[in-house]
């Protein structure tokens, strides 16, 4: 189980989704933050690969980015997997961290989930949209126990970025297109003077820790 995020019931709505057929592109789900400023869109390519796009205040900041993971049987999901139903919900409560500056933190988000099945394998993609961040994770319901993340972050511009670097000085500032090789999270990118993005992971129960890989000239982190 893994969350990839900028940070990471009540009313349910079910929508039947199409099969992830090779000759069709389809939008699987759209999810807005409670304040309506952030939009999370998940679609399927003609080859059945789920992709996501993130829009903030009408500006696309992440575009056509891949989602999924690689198991011993191949990429999950792909065109051979059947998309199930989308379930949407809303949550408003309080999170009580075990440490930090505040004993209580408001927890308000909109959520959606969609399951993918293939024979006896079932994987659920869970999405959350907060006012200050978007998160997703794969919940391994049945059949998979060994996998590696293949999701990527295809930034919509050549943003200036900084990266955590262990007990050394941070890497950056550097344009995304100048990064080459491996970079560690937390990663922060400046979209403009009023908008910064941070990418990190949490709640990792199995699989390898997040590590960015990039090629010079590209604004996509794999």
Q: Contact at 8 Å (CB) between 145 and 206?
A: yes
In this prediction, residue 138 has a pLDDT band, given cuts at 50, 70 and 90, of confident
pLDDT in tens, 99-135: 889 999 999 999 999 988 888 888 899 999 999 999 9
Work out the mean pLDDT of the chain and round it to a whole number: 83
Cα–Cα distances (Å) from 10 to 91, 110, 111, 114, 126, in that order, read 7, 11, 11, 17, 16
Those residues with Cβ within 8 angstroms of residue 123's Cβ, 6 or more apart along the chain or in another chain:
76, 77, 81, 115, 116, 117, 138, 139, 140, 141, 144
In this prediction, residue 207 has a pLDDT band, given cuts at 50, 70 and 90, of low
Per-residue pLDDT at 141: 59
Q: What pairs with residue 214 in β-bridges?
A: 181
What is the arrangement of strands in the sheet containing 38-44, beginning at the earlier edge strand?
26-32, 38-44, 50-56, 59-66
Closest CA to 25 of 61, 49, 59: 49
CA distance linking residue 96 with residue 191, whole number of Å: 31
pLDDT at residue 10 is higher than 60? no
pLDDT, mean of residues 186-212 = 85
Per-residue pLDDT at 51: 93
CA distance linking residue 176 with residue 156, whole number of Å: 11
Beta strands per DSSP E along the chain: 2-5, 13-16, 26-32, 38-44, 50-56, 59-66, 69-71, 74-76, 82-95, 105-118, 121-130, 133-142, 147-149, 153-154, 160-164, 171-175, 181-192, 195-202, 212-214, 220-221
pLDDT in tens, 15-48: 223 334 434 458 889 999 999 999 999 998 887 7
pLDDT in tens, 149-184: 789 999 999 999 999 999 999 999 999 999 999 999
Q: Contact at 8 Å (CB) between 152 and 13?
A: no
Q: Contact at 8 Å (CB) between 49 and 26?
A: no
Q: Tell me the pTM.
A: 0.83
SS3 101: coil
């Amino acid at each position: 189980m893994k969350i990839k995020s900028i940070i990471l019931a009540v009313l349910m709505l079910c929508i039947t989704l199409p099969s992830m057929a090779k000759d069709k592109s389809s939008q699987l789900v759209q999810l807005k933050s409670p304040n309506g400023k952030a939009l999370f869109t998940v679609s399927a390519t003609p080859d059945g690969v789920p992709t996501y796009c993130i829009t903030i205040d009408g500006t696309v900041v992440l575009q056509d980015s891949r989602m999924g993971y690689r198991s011993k049987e191949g990429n999950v999901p792909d065109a051979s997997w059947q998309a199930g139903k989308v379930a949407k919900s809303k949550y408003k409560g309080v999170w009580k961290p075990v440490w930090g500056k505040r004993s209580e933190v408001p927890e308000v988000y909109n959520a959606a989930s969609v399951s993918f099945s293939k024979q006896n394998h079932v994987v659920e993609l869970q999405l959350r949209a907060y006012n200050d961040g978007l998160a997703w994770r794969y919940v391994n319901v049945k059949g998979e126990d060994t996998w590696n993340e293949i999701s990527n972050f295809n930034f919509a511009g050549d943003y200036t970025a900084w990266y955590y670097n262990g007990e050394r000085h941070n890497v950056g500032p550097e344009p995304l297109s100048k990064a080459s090789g491996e970079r560690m999270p937390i990663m922060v990118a400046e979209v403009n003077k009023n908008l910064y993005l941070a990418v990190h992971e949490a709640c990792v129960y199995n699989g390898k820790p997040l590590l960015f890989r990039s090629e010079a000239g590209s604004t996509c982190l794999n």
